[in-house]
């Protein structure tokens, strides 16, 4: 047995989840002892990471927000580079967070250290020249999406499509019967799940539209039971907008209970994002809605090159899940589309079938999970590094 040193860096919550899954898979795919160093959050630390500093020090989003913290972030970049040279790992894995990770990678150029980046930049949506930048910084790229590969093949960056980690989540294992009994939901009622987002600004913008849509839906189908999914610290904000909804509306803020809601749902209205993938994974037909500030929308629209907001629509290259974005984000349109799904006819059945096909393209039901595929690539590179026995250069 060998003692492998893996340096792994995550800069935000989603990266921490991805990193923890990868660490778990690395241990499962190798008999060698692994010593994990780097930067990560609670999940990665739980799998044995020695975090150099709190991940929150570099978890800063947005230009205006990051400006006051630039000196600290620059200090953390250099501190990370110095630590990597001290640890002398077999490989460095950076996860997403390109602002931080690319700067670390740039400072490591010429050191002889193999650099792997997990989660490709969205060159297919905007700024395709970023592929060239990554080719100059990294030795290998782990791709989540099947259509990303040509962009990086073109610039000569070695890459492997591993699949999207969302498919590893057991979102279809909820207890529908338990949820219905707990909330006294009869077999004749249709459960409509509403997911307005995980940011206060999203809830303030979307909840009034979703509530109006719900009122229209219930005028046409009185058997609908609304269930709103949120997170604990935003529950009071959701309640503020939901006060005029039927008294039997249920607001859920528990991750475990969320799985039960998914299992019981007949249809859903959801803010565009990861939650829509969770719903599709659980076999729930849904409509997607999103709206942002008008100025922000026109700025984003000027450089976004894709037709759809939802990942499954992108994978299938057609709108299998109805999207109501910006000008189309209107209660009347959302209500009309949702009613069709609640009827449980062809619209709902076709969407669920095509969503499963799209999830299959992301790796669902394959023999290996995305994390295991990623771990195998990392271990192969480590094996090559060990075989070459090239010393690091400081």
Whole-Å CA distances, 97 to 16, 40, 262: 11, 12, 30
126 and 96, same domain (yes or no):
yes
Q: What pLDDT was estimated at residue 67?
A: 47
157 and 198, same domain (yes or no):
no
Tell me how many helices (H) and strands (E) the chain has.
Answer: 17, 13
The answer to whether residue 115 sits within a structural domain is yes
273 and 197, same domain (yes or no):
yes
371 and 325, same domain (yes or no):
no
Encoding tokens for residue 48?
């044995």
Residue 305, pLDDT above cutoff 70: no
Question: What percent of the chain has a predicted confidence (pLDDT) above 90?
Answer: 62
133 and 197, same domain (yes or no):
no
Buried/exposed code over 325-354 (b: 16+ C-beta within 10 A; e: otherwise): bbeebebebbbbbbbbbbeeeebbeebbeb
Residue 180, pLDDT above cutoff 90: yes
The answer to whether residue 292 sits within a structural domain is yes
Whether 335 contacts 216, CB under 8 Å: yes
CA angle 119, 10, 111 (to 5 degrees): 85
Long-range contacts of 182-186 (CB under 8 A, 24+ apart): 183/250, 185/225, 185/264
Whole-Å CA distances, 199 to 195, 211, 234: 11, 17, 8
The answer to whether residue 61 sits within a structural domain is yes
Contacts of 76 (CB under 8 A, 6+ apart): 39, 53, 57, 58, 100
- Beta strands at 140-143 and 323-325: parallel, antiparallel or unpaired: unpaired
Task: Provide the number of structural domains found in the chain.
Answer: 2
- The CATH number of the domain where 245 resides is what? 3.40.50.2000
230 and 104, same domain (yes or no):
no
Q: How confident is the model at residue 62 (pLDDT cuts 50, 70, 90)?
A: very low
Whole-Å CA distances, 39 to 33, 67, 76, 97, 139: 20, 21, 10, 12, 20
Whether 197 contacts 288, CB under 8 Å: no
Q: What pLDDT was estimated at residue 308?
A: 79
Q: What pLDDT was estimated at residue 63?
A: 37
Surface-to-core class of residue 169, CB atoms within 10 Å of its CB (0-12 exposed, 13-18 middle, 19+ buried): middle
The answer to whether residue 74 sits within a structural domain is yes
Q: What pLDDT was estimated at residue 296?
A: 62
Question: Taking the chain, what is the end-to-end CA distance rounded to the nearest angstrom?
Answer: 28
240 and 340, same domain (yes or no):
yes
Read out DSSP for 110-176?
TS---EEEES---TTTS-TTHHHHHHHH-SEEEESSGGGHHHHHTTT--EEE---GGGGS-TT---H
The answer to whether residue 169 sits within a structural domain is no
Residue 66, pLDDT above cutoff 50: no
Domain hosting 79: range is: 3-163+366-388
Residue 332, pLDDT above cutoff 60: yes
Q: What pLDDT was estimated at residue 295?
A: 65
| pLDDT tens by residue, 186-240 | 999 999 999 998 778 888 999 999 999 999 999 998 799 999 999 888 899 999 9
296 and 350, same domain (yes or no):
yes
The answer to whether residue 352 sits within a structural domain is yes
195 and 297, same domain (yes or no):
yes
Across the strands, what pairs with 143? Answer: 161
CA distance 153 to 11: 26
| pLDDT tens by residue, 137-175 | 999 999 998 889 999 999 999 999 998 887 887 555 789
342 and 213, same domain (yes or no):
yes
The answer to whether residue 184 sits within a structural domain is yes
Contacts of 75 (CB under 8 A, 6+ apart): none
30 and 144, same domain (yes or no):
yes
The answer to whether residue 394 sits within a structural domain is no
377 and 357, same domain (yes or no):
no
Contacts of 265 (CB under 8 A, 6+ apart): 191, 192, 193, 227, 279, 282, 284
Average pLDDT, the chain: 88
| pLDDT tens by residue, 79-130 | 999 999 999 999 999 998 888 999 999 999 999 999 999 999 888 767 778 8
């Amino acid at each position: 047995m060998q003692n492998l040193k893996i340096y792994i860096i995550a800069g935000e919550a989603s990266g921490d989840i991805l990193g923890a899954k990868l660490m778990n898979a690395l241990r499962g795919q190798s008999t060698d002892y692994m010593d994990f160093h780097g930067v990560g959050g609670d999940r990665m630390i739980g799998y044995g990471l020695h975090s150099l500093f709190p991940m929150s020090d570099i978890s800063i989003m947005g230009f205006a927000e990051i400006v006051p913290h630039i000196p600290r972030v620059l200090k953390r970049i250099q501190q990370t580079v110095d630590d990597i040279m001290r640890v002398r790992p077999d490989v460095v894995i950076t996860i997403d967070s390109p602002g931080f990770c690319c700067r670390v990678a740039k400072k490591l150029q010429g050191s002889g250290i193999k650099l792997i980046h997990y989660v490709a930049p969205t060159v297919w949506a905007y700024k395709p020249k970023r592929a060239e930048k990554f080719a100059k910084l990294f030795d290998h790229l782990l791709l989540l999406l099947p259509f990303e590969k040509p962009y990086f093949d073109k610039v000569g960056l070695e890459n492997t499509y591993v699949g999207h980690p969302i498919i590893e989540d057991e979102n279809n294992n909820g207890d529908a019967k338990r949820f219905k009994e707990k909330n006294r939901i009869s077999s004749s009622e249709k459960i409509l799940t509403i997911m307005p987002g995980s940011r206060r600004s999203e809830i303030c913008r979307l909840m009034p539209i979703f509530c109006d849509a719900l009122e229209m839906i219930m005028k046409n189908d009185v058997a609908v039971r609304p269930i709103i999914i949120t997170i604990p610290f935003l529950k009071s904000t959701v309640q503020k907008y939901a006060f005029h909804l039927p008294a039997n509306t249920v607001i859920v803020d528990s991750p475990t209970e969320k799985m039960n809601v998914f299992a019981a749902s007949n249809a859903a209205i959801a803010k565009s994002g990861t939650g829509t993938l969770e719903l599709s994974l659980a076999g729930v037909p849904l409509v997607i809605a999103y709206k942002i500030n008008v100025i922000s929308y026109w700025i984003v629209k000027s450089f976004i090159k894709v037709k759809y907001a939802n990942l499954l629509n992108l994978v299938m290259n057609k709108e299998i899940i109805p999207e109501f974005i910006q000008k189309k984000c209107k209660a009347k349109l959302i209500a009309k589309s949702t009613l069709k799904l609640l009827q449980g006819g062809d619209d709902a059945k076709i969407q669920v079938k095509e969503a499963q096909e799209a999830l299959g393209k992301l790796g669902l039901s394959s023999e290996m999970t995305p994390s295991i595929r990623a771990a195998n690539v990392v271990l192969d590179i480590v094996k090559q590094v060990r075989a070459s026995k090239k010393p690091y250069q400081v």
